[in-house]
Structure 1
Amino acid sequence: MRTTATLAVLVAAIFSAGCGSDDGSGPLTVYSGREEELVQPLFDRFAAETGTRVEVRYADSAELAATINEEGGNSPADVFFAQDPGSLGAVESQLAALPPETLDRVDSRFRDDRGRWVGTSGRSRVLVYNTDAVAAADLPSSVFDLTDAAWRGRIGIAPTNASFQAFVTAMRLSVGDDRTREWLVGLKANQPRTYEKNLPIVEAAASGEIDVGLVNHYYLALVKDEQPDAPVANHFFEPGDPGALVSVAGVGVLASTDQPEEARALVDFLLSDDGQRFYTEEAEETEYPLVAGIPSAPGLPPLGDLQGPDVDLSSFGGELESTVELLRETGYLT
């Protein structure tokens, strides 16, 4: 009896170990540089609709990209969901090409030109400002104007944040390293306050700690949800200006995955109408849907009206190291 019982337990354990999901495969492993608070509802919904179990590892996008490169073909990740195109570009050699029908859901300017990753939501760089301290008519039309001495001690930035670094990369690609270095030196002379992330910059502008700050557009909505009467608003720079960069979060499938169909199904889910409406109807961060026909959140200028500098987002990964080095040279990073 003891032998029979032991054998039954062993068989049950083996069966259980082999049943990660309904079809007998293991869980789909996602490395997510997007914050759990924002995107976990998307993963939960995908799992409920498809029966695919999803395990998510959350960390900074750049850290996850470095991990994927270290792990190489042995990476347990099936999907990389990144906050920025630079992180996706950093692992492009390890990403599989996505099908044309998936890529075509999104305008070509918001996806990799070789089809290895695709944008899932967009954000515009803006200048957030305290409306009690600065009149709209006095706001600069270009980010280059922030080196004027009139802005000394009034600006907030987050130089260690991926979105600021992507913006600097866009500036380098659009006007060159020399002018970008000149701007960084000039901005540094104006003694900007530094913050770890975008949200504290908007909160600082709302409290009057700073007058203006360089951030992504959607952080304003987060502060307004908590402080509806906060004297703070977004200012969009003129079209073509590096400060008007329109960047994306994006997703790619690891070439080493042993679950390519499930991985691509998750990508398609993120680009489905429901997956795109999530950013305007449910998410706290009101990012831009990238699929045509899905309207942006009320109060935002249409995505089609936004025009950043003429740069290729798919090149950001290869440029990130040079951007970080320039930020070190000019004293923004240690």
Structure 2
Amino acid sequence: MLKKCRLLSLLLIPVSFLVKPAAAAEVVLYSSNNVETVNRVVELFTKKNPDIKVSVVRAGTGALMQRIKAEAANPLGDIFWSGGLATIAEFKAQLDPYASPQANTVAAAYRGPNGLWLGTNVHVNVLMVNARQVTDGALPKSWSDLSDPRWKGRLVIPDPERTSASFVALYGIRQTLGKAMLSRIARNATIVGTTSAAYDGVAKGEFAVALTMEYAAYEYVAGGLKEIKLVYPSEGTFMSVEGMALIKGAKHPAEARKLYEFLASKEAQTDIFKSAFRRPLRTDIDVSTLSTLPALSAVKVVPLDEEKMSQDRAAFLAEWREIISAR
């Protein structure tokens, strides 16, 4: 009789005590974007998806892609946003193909094979000049102007091994103007470890000129710093296209696709431009109507072969190290 009572007591335990509650939905975002941009995106996304928690891991593009590769057997991230397509392409074995309904808003050249990645925004390489620091002549108008000895110690360039946009610009200079010109420019330059160290240095007057990205320089212009000028080099500049990708074997694939679609949307990309001045790749957004920046069609751009650039990356960086060590 006692055994029957115990059995009956077990049967009467509320089901809620026996069933574990479902884990809250989560997505792990690996991002090389700055804190402000990432925070803005997370804020907008969670307003639309309050049931999904976004966890963020921030680092440089190269470091994050290496981390994704190292974690291949047990992925800890779900989605990567955003980094240079040349760098992303090197790690395509770690990516999961996805056919986004919004992919056709981006030119085919910026979409990965079988949907392995999708271009989100484009960085246009510019010269950021602090006019107050240029009292001995005209502002530079071209890449080749940077080889003039008067820029010695006054030019700052981010390390191309650590920043994908700097790699694209220096690789482009090497391809179009040759190794000798790249070497003469490098002799005048101070090399810094981060992109922010370059544009902050010019804004503070520590340097006169930085090789940097349009959005970074324009933040100071939009902020009212009248001495900051953007120069689009006369030989033509280079674009560093950034994109996003889903991580193969991700633990939260459905949530990752939701965030992917949000990042691809016109709403999100327009907001990111308004708040961070990052040119969207969507063909239905014209930044010249939202800012004083020129339309991309008005900028002389020298096209670079993304696949060849990816293949040449290791060799170029080895050559760059030789150039720097020989200064």
Q: Given the superposition, is the C-alpha separation of residues 170 and 89 from structure 1 closer, same or farther in structure 2, using an over 3 Å criterion?
A: farther
What is the identity, as a one-letter code, of the residue corresponding to 1:77?
G
Deviation of the 1:206 alpha carbon: 3.7
TM-score, normalised to structure 1's length?
0.81
Alignment partner of 1:269 out of 257, 262, 265: 262
For 2:202 and 2:40, the matched residues in 1 are separated by 30
Report the alpha carbon displacement of residue 126 of structure 1 after superposing the two structures with TM: 0.4
Hey, what's the Cα distance between the residues in 2 that align with 1:158 and 1:77? 27
**Mapped pair 1:237 → 2:233:** yes
| Counterpart for residue 6 of structure 2 | none
* Corresponding residue pairs, total: 315
Residues of 2 paired with 1:326 and 1:75: CA distance?
34
Structure number with bigger Rg? 2
Question: What is the Cα deviation at residue 140 of structure 1?
Answer: 4.2
Q: Aligned partners of 2:99, 2:116: CA distance in 1, in Å?
A: 9
User: Which residue matches 2:206?
Assistant: 209
Query: 2:41 — aligned with what?
Result: 42
SS at match of 2:245: strand
Q: Please report how far the alpha carbon of residue 37 of structure 1 lies from its aligned counterpart in structure 2 after TM superposition.
A: 2.1
Q: Distance in 1 between matches of 2:210 and 2:151?
A: 11
- The answer to whether the Cα contact below 8 Å between 2:133 and 2:207 also exists between their aligned partners in 1 is no
One-letter amino acid of the counterpart of residue 66, structure 2: A
Offset at residue 277 of structure 1 (A): 0.9
Describe how 1:86-165 pairs up with structure 2 within 5 A: 86-99=86-99, 101-112=101-112, 115-134=115-134, 138-159=138-159, 160-165=162-167
The answer to whether the 8 Å contact 2:124/2:214 transfers is yes
Q: Displacement of 1:224 after TM fit?
A: 4.0
- Separation in 2, partners of 1:308, 1:13: 64
* 3-state SS of 1:104 partner: helix
Task: Report how far residue 322 of structure 1 moved.
Answer: 2.5
- CA gap 1:34/1:271 in 2 versus in 1, 3 angstroms: same
* 1:153 aligned counterpart, secondary structure: coil
Distance 1:144 1:10 in 2: 75
Aligned to 1:290: 281
Query: C-alpha deviations, 1:141-196, integer Å up to 9, x for none?
Result: 43133223343333111124332123223345x449xx23x233212332x22333
Distance 2:146 2:14 in 1: 69
Change (3 A) 1:14 1:319: farther
**Percentage of pairs with the same residue:** 21
Counterpart in 1 of 2:66?
A: 66
Hey, what's the Cα distance between the residues in 2 that align with 1:55 and 1:10? 32
Alpha-carbon separation, structure 2, partners of 1:217 and 1:312: 21
Aligned partner (choices 166, 181, 184) of residue 183 of structure 1: 181
1:196 aligned to 2:196?
A: no
User: Which structure 1 segments of 5+ residues have no match?
Assistant: 22-26
CA contact (8 A) 2:105 2:283 kept: yes
Counterpart position of 1:24: none
Give the AA of the match of 1:222.
E
Q: Measure how far apart 1:54 and its partner are.
A: 2.0
User: Which position in structure 2 is the counterpart of 1:247?
Assistant: 240
- Cα distance, 1:82 vs structure 2: 2.5
1:275: Cα distance to partner?
0.7
Q: Which residue of 2 aligns with 1:303?
A: 296
1:272 CA displacement: 1.0
Q: Which runs of 4+ in 1 moved over 6 A?
A: 8-11
- CA distance in 2 between counterparts of 1:211 and 1:55 reads 39
CA pair 167-154 structure 1, distance change in 2 beyond 3 A: same
Alignment TM-score, normalising by the size of structure 2: 0.82
SS in 2 for 1:330: helix
The answer to whether the 8 A contact 2:215-2:277 is kept is yes
Amino acid across the alignment from 1:94:
Q
Distance in 2 of aligned mates of 1:245 and 1:13: 60
Rounded Cα–Cα distance in structure 2 between residues aligned with 1:44 and 1:28: 14
Separation (CA, whole Å) in 2 of partners of 1:41 and 1:14: 37
Comparing 257-266 with 70-79, greater Cα deviation is found at 257-266
Residue 211 of structure 1: how far off its partner (Å): 2.1
Distance 1:289 1:194, change over 3 A: same
| C-alpha RMSD over aligned residues | 3.4
Task: Give, in angstroms, the shift of residue 114 of structure 1.
Answer: 5.1
Alpha-carbon distance in 2 for matches of 1:12, 1:183:
73
Aligned equivalents of 2:116, 2:325: Cα separation in 1: 32
**CA distance in structure 1 between the partners assigned to 2:87 and 2:184 by the alignment:** 28
**2:75 counterpart of 1:82:** no
